[in-house]
Amino acid sequence: MTLFRGKIPTDWWVRVVFHLLFWTYLLGLPFLTWGSTEEGRRHLLQLFPLMLTHIPLFFINTAWLAPRTLRKRGIGPYLLSVLALALVFTILQVAMKSYLLGRPFWTELQDPLRVIFHVIFVTAVSTGYALTNHLYTQEKAREQERGERLQSELSFLRSQISPHFIFNILNSIVYLIRSRSPLAEPVTIKLSDLMRYMLYESAGTQIPLEKELDYLKNYVELQKIRFEEDVDIRLNIENQAGAQIIEPLLMIPFVENAFKHGVGLIENPVIDIAVRFNEKELNFSVRNKVATGSPETKDNSSGIGLRNVMRRLELLYPDTHRLEVKQEDNWFTVHLNLQFHR
């Protein structure tokens, strides 16, 4: 039978080590300091029940008072409650000491410094422990909230990607149908393959690079069928994909944007796509000619795919990607470098 399943959290170990060290020090140090003589040992054993009252003081503060007061009312009311708790335990320990030593209560009350010191020490340590736990819990809750917002935003962005691509690819089929091209049927079949990938195979968090490259090849083949010899379409993929994994649909929005804005009223249009990669990183680039002399008319959906993929790169590869987008000499160029997740 397995006692623990999965990895024990680091904060659990920190708490265990803290309690072992703290209680060993608090309950064991007096015996090391004053237990060298018979009289000292007898005196410590006589007061040992008094020393054990530090345990409920500590845990009443950290396990009961802090959760009920600190998290609900704030630091001010909590510190006042801690002072009241310390006063109660000071009176309790003075009373216990007088009983254990057989002395009058008022006599012990006249010299309570040792008791007060120990109560203040345990109260201060337990208060620091409670405040640390409070701050850690708050930070952990904020991290969880950030993670949930991140996942929600990614889900929203991914839900926008598929319709965006579908609409643009359907335009290709409409074009072929209107021109009565015999290629309409094979293009439709290829579209079904693309849609299957977008809706099902890319539904996971990450996918093998090989599948993403196959999708890219199919998309380019579809565009080659559509444009035939009217557009010079180049696709160069270096190396053979292995065990690399990647977030799905990262490269396609840039390719789709090149086809959307790199054909039409452009002389000798060219779409040039290059993919190079190894075990650690991927280098992807796409460039297309742009029209000169007349401003481009954009529809309402223009740039949706690019904005989405840029945002996804920021969220998923915050420190492991570099994206360059530039336009010069009648060429629009995108270059993406990213480190594969391990």
Nearest Cα neighbor of 4 from 136, 12, 14, 141 is: 12
Maximum CA extent, the chain: 110
CATH 3.30.565.10 for domain 181-339, yes or no, is yes
Would you say 287 and 332 are in contact if contact means Cβ atoms under 8 Å apart?
Answer: yes
CA 27 and chain centroid, separation: 42
CA 183 and chain centroid, separation: 46
Helix, strand or coil, per DSSP, at residue 286? strand
> What phi and psi, each to the nearest 5 degrees, are found at residue 76?
-55, -60
Could you give the residue range(s) of every CATH 3.30.565.10 domain in the chain?
A: 181-339
Starting from the edge strand earliest in sequence, which strands make up the sheet with 270-277, in order? 232-237, 270-277, 281-289, 331-339, 321-328
> Which pair of tokens denotes residue 118?
């120990």
Helix, strand or coil, per DSSP, at residue 263? coil
pLDDT in tens, 133-175: 888 888 887 777 676 666 666 565 555 555 655 676 677 778 7
Bin 287: left if φ > 0, else alpha if -120 < ψ < 50, else beta: beta
Sign, CA torsion 290/296/301/304: positive
Work out whether strand 232-237 and strand 245-246 pair parallel, antiparallel, or are unpaired: unpaired
Rounded CA-CA distance 214/220 in Å is 10
Tell me the whole-structure pTM to 2 decimals.
0.56
For residue 301, what pLDDT is reported?
47
Would you say 112 and 90 are in contact if contact means Cβ atoms under 8 Å apart?
Answer: yes
Which of the residues in the chain have pLDDT under 50?
1-5, 294-295, 297, 299-302
> Which pair of tokens denotes residue 291?
């029209």
For residue 154, what pLDDT is reported?
59
pLDDT in tens, 23-54: 998 888 887 776 567 777 777 777 888 889 99
For residue 204, what pLDDT is reported?
59
